[in-house]
Amino acid sequence: MSSSSAAPAAKPPMRDALVAAAFRLFVERGYEQTTVDDIVALAGVGRRSFFRYFPSKEDVVFPDHERCLADMTAFLGTGGPEHEPVRRVCDAARLVLRMYAENPAFSVQRYRLTRQVPGLRAYELSVVWRYERALADYLRGRFAGRPDGTLRADVIAAAVVAAHNNALRSWLRSDGAGDPGTAVDHALGYVHRTYGRPADTAVAAARSGPAGSDERAGRSDEVVVLVSRRDAPLWRVVQELETALGRG
Amino acid sequence: MSSSSAAPAAKPPMRDALVAAAFRLFVERGYEQTTVDDIVALAGVGRRSFFRYFPSKEDVVFPDHERCLADMTAFLGTGGPEHEPVRRVCDAARLVLRMYAENPAFSVQRYRLTRQVPGLRAYELSVVWRYERALADYLRGRFAGRPDGTLRADVIAAAVVAAHNNALRSWLRSDGAGDPGTAVDHALGYVHRTYGRPADTAVAAARSGPAGSDERAGRSDEVVVLVSRRDAPLWRVVQELETALGRG
């Protein structure tokens, strides 16, 4: 977050020129074979200009992650109690997708580079870990004081990141063809259905029926029996169920 | 996996002596201030002996992960179709716990070191990522051809790793007090209840119960009675419900 907050809001052309020069050389010669001197020579600037924008050669490969991490943290920070927490972290993950989707050709190029260079792969893992921690920290706050709050926060954050990256990487492997938004929505929907509260339901309860009605039941307070008309709309039954299970 | 498979099955004392010397110096002087020369001098061996066992100074901090990754891969490889896949990956994750729990003092020392040295943190992230890929690859195999197979595999693998590490790190932060097995079992149980096949739990749909038990019911063949444990994951209950309502 620090480097981007120090930089001006509008991307300076010199920064863009350095990224463009770096990637041209990485693709032509290979990442390891390209030096910072090569990059600044092609961009027509001095070494100090490079290091003003990028702490190291690795950082020029991921020029937008700091900004995106800052955006994500800000987005989560402005969320209120009215935001369903799992939906909120799914929406936060979409900020990362937006960054990749803004420039498909660049994202695909970088993806290939990252697959080839172990150092870049390690760098990327540390970036992904920071996104995951941002999501987990937000959820830990929202789940504070609840049973298994930190466990649930960490697991849901990891599930969101894994789902997002599953869809993102499919898109990158397909050379950035089509709109990645649909696949990411589908993947995040899977996580939200698992852990989130459905936004569009309200509830009525059928709490704890007679335990004797089911021989598999242990004590009646561990069991929920829900009786429903077969032709009831599924959403209505799910509503009842949520309340009955105490998740409403 | 390569380095450990090349080493003899029984740990040679020299390897242990190098790890012990390294950690003594890391704790006394700090990781960055300790050189490989310092380590071999204290262990009373030559530099070549060090590099026979460890490709770099970082590797001596994590001397058992290669073996553990190999064990995990072997464990997953020997699983058959009779093994419920989510339980199998939970059991595989317990191999990592066992490695940490074998030597609590060492594990706690390393945990503190890893928190302090960014390079070691990055190394650890890459190890964790390899565990996660091993679990995900196994699940991808088990879910092959099913809808959202790779998505589910990646998400579940990430959830297992996050749950395991949530419990493991609590234990490490408590200086390795007590048995970490209970907390890890609890954390993995949370993931298994969410994603696993309900071998031992949870939900069963009872098609068409006695209509008299519910005054909302019309004729008895229009009614579905669903009995569920209160702690069953909502999505799992909905799945059963869909089947019971004939919408699955």
Reduced DSSP (H G I as helix, E B as strand, rest coil) percent helix, strand, coil of chain B, to 5: 70, 5, 25
Q: Do A245 and B223 touch (CB under 8 A)?
A: no
Cβ-based contacts of A167 with chain B (< 8 Å): 151
Q: Give per-residue pLDDT as tens, B200-233.
A: 333 333 333 343 333 333 333 445 566 666 666 6
Percent of chain A at pLDDT > 70 equals 75
Contacts of A217 in chain B (CB under 8 A): 227
Q: Minimal Cα distance from B225: which residue of A?
A: A227
On the question of pLDDT at A149 being above 90, the answer is yes
Measured between beta carbons, the chain A residues lying within 8 angstroms of B242 are 234
Interchain pair B162, A150: CB under 8 A: no
Q: Is B86 exposed, middle or buried (0-12, 13-18, 19+ CB in 10 A)?
A: buried
ipTM above 0.90, yes or no: no
Does B16 lie in the same domain as B117? no
> Tell me, what amino acid is at A87?
R
Q: Please report where in the chains the tokens 């990158």 appear, as a residue.
A: A172
Say if residue B21 is exposed, middle or buried (CB neighbours under 10 Å; 0-12, 13-18, 19+).
buried
Q: Tell me how many domains chain B contains.
A: 3
Q: Are residues A15 and A122 in the same domain?
A: no
Mutate to test the interface with B, among A188, A227, A239 (most CBs of B within 10 A): A227
For residue A222, give the nearest of B161, B190, B229 by CB distance.
B229
Contact A122 B121 (CB under 8 A): no
In a domain, A128, yes or no: yes
Give the three-class secondary structure for B208.
Answer: coil
- B2 pLDDT band (50/70/90 cuts)? very low
Domain presence at residue A206: no
pLDDT tens digits for range B63-78: 899 999 999 999 999 9
pLDDT score recorded for residue B207? 38
- Taking alpha carbons only, the member of B1, B28, B162, B16 closest to residue A157 is B162
* B150, closest residue in chain A (CA to CA): A166
Looking at A13, A42, A58, which one is the last position of a domain? A58
**Residues A23, A50 within the same domain:** yes
Which of the residues A133, A135, A151 would you substitute to probe the B interface, choosing the one with the greatest number of B C-beta atoms within 10 Å? A151
**Greater confidence, A232 or B121?**
B121
Per-residue confidence at A231, pLDDT binned at 50, 70, 90? low
Residue ending a domain, among B19, B34, B60, is B60
Which residues constitute the domain of residue B236? Answer: 203-244
Does some domain include residue A218?
yes
Considering the domain boundaries, does residue A201 fall inside one? no
- Strand-pair partners of B225: A227, B206
Q: Bridge-partner residues for B205, per DSSP? A: B226
Q: Is residue A200 in a domain? A: no
Structure tokens at B29: 């002087």
Do A50 and A102 reside in the same domain of the chain? no
* A151 and A32 within one domain: no
**CB-based contact B224 A225, cutoff 8 Å:** no
Domain finish residue from A12, A28, A58: A58
Same domain, B171 and B239: no
Could you tell me if B86 and B123 lie in one domain?
A: yes
Residues A163 and A76 in one domain: yes
**B105 and B218 part of one domain:** no
Query: Is A203 within the bounds of a domain?
Result: no
For residues A69 and A168, membership in a common domain is answered with yes
Cross-chain residue pair B162–A148, CB shorter than 8 Å: no
CATH number of B30's domain: 1.10.10.60
A103 falls within a domain = yes
Is 80 exceeded by the pLDDT of residue B85?
A: yes
Secondary structure letter of residue B200 according to DSSP? S
A50 in the same domain as A71: no
Helix (H, G, I), strand (E, B) or coil at A229: strand
Q: For the domain that residue B168 is a member of, what is the CATH number?
A: 1.10.357.10
Q: Are residues A164 and A74 in the same domain?
A: yes
